Amino acid sequence: MNKDEMILVSVDDHIVEPPDMFKNHLPKKYLDEAPRLVHNADGSDTWQFRDVVIPNVALNAVAGRPKEEYGLEPQGLDEIRPGCWQVDERIKDMNAGGILGSMCFPSFPGFAGRLFATEDQEFSLALVKAYNDWHVEEWCGAYPARFIPMTLPVIWDPVQCAKEIRRNAARGVHSLTFTENPAAMGYPSFHDFDHWKPMWDALVDTETVLNVHIGSSGRLAITAPDAPMDVMITLQPMNIVQAAADLLWSRPIKEYPTLKIALSEGGTGWIPYFLERVDRTFEMHSTWTGQDFGGKLPSEVFREHFLTCFIADPIGVATRDRIGVDNICWEADYPHSDSMWPGAPEQLHEVLSANHVPDDEINKMTYQNAMRWYHWDPFTHIPKDQATVGALRKAAEGHDVSIKALSNHEKGTRGDALHAAARGNSGEN
């Protein structure tokens, strides 16, 4: 397949939320209490909610910027590409990158919306609903052919969480962002079946995918407090391996044959060994641990329930048959530091060509699996011949994608307190 003929749908991108996102969706009685974006004297912009300060760290919005500007220091909105937080500009960036569709994870509330969990549950629920309404109606609704809608959970209340899943499914949302380790956030673990049962019921009833993103519990794998940042970045996928094991051996997998779970931004290269290991564990230990998958191997059950995704991942592409081609999607990770934007089609095509991936398998991994898993059809809004890499890039002719230095400050000049906050939030945002 020619590079320009590919159709690309990313199941893992990110939003830097705009400052006015609550204006049209939060009841007026709560507006004064809502999280707000504050422009600081040092030029950075930080979300502030009560006593919590959440910076937009540089690693979260480096698309189009030189690697010298990567880092953990807080940034201002004027120091990142407008496509990070303005939907019209995002579409221009997607076109220039040859990307048809995108599913966008949240930033400042945390991937599981834990920022909104306050002692006032009515207020907390209003915040979640307002965020979801903004995301579905304003962000995704502005370009329905271009975004797979995803909503936040009511993580502190499984009954309310189930209601919110059903409310959003009624308007075509089949994607829920969640944490890879609720126990690390102070909630019952995935193994507390009764606690989370209302949520599992709602997910299955509405055919909604549970997306567990790396770092979503805020507990990233690290070897020591003084380890270089490179250690944490290297080990980021290890969090998703833990989540995969937790969920595969959990009761919901056995109780709900149609439950679907996505391991977001987790890569794929580790999966063949993981599947060998779970089968070996089952063979050697299920007699005394009591595990029963109804006559199937854990690896078979994994392929029935789990969706994985990759950015380039040559090893994962080479071993795709051992993972399951129907279980793999592509991701762009825009505007984070692992993103290949705007050269994603070139780098992806190089990996696919090197591994002699046939056209039918390319189509599955680049867009068809995403459409099927998330019940999303962009072609009701855009003809397929206008959705290819080549067609989208032609529509974006003249859009500036050159690498530019955007920071207005020198590194190390934005305060120890905010730098520490950035380091603490880097795994989740």
Residue 3's pLDDT is: 97
The CATH H-level superfamily of 3-425 is: Metal-dependent hydrolases (3.20.20.140)
> What does the pLDDT read at residue 238?
79
What is the C-alpha radius of gyration for the chain, rounded to an integer number of angstroms? 21
Look at residue 72 in the predicted model and tell me its pLDDT.
85
Distance CA 271, CA 319 (A): 9
Q: What is the pLDDT of residues 311-336, one digit of tens each?
A: 999 999 999 999 999 999 999 999 99
* 209: helix, strand or coil: strand
Q: Measure the CA–CA gap between 308 and 238, rounded to whole angstroms.
A: 14
Point out the residues of the chain with pLDDT beneath 70. 415-429
User: Cα–Cα distance between 66 and 429 in angstroms, integer?
Assistant: 20
pLDDT at 429: 38
The DSSP call for residue 57 is B
Q: Before 342, cis peptide (omega within 30)? A: yes
- Please tell me the predicted confidence (pLDDT) of residue 111: 95
CA atoms within 13 A on the CB side of 98: 21
Q: Kindly report the pTM of this predicted structure.
A: 0.95
Give the pLDDT of residue 57.
86
Select from 276, 271, 319, 316 the least CA-distant residue to 297: 276
C-alpha dihedral, 269 to 272 to 278 to 283, nearest 10°: -160
pLDDT at 422 (0 to 100): 40
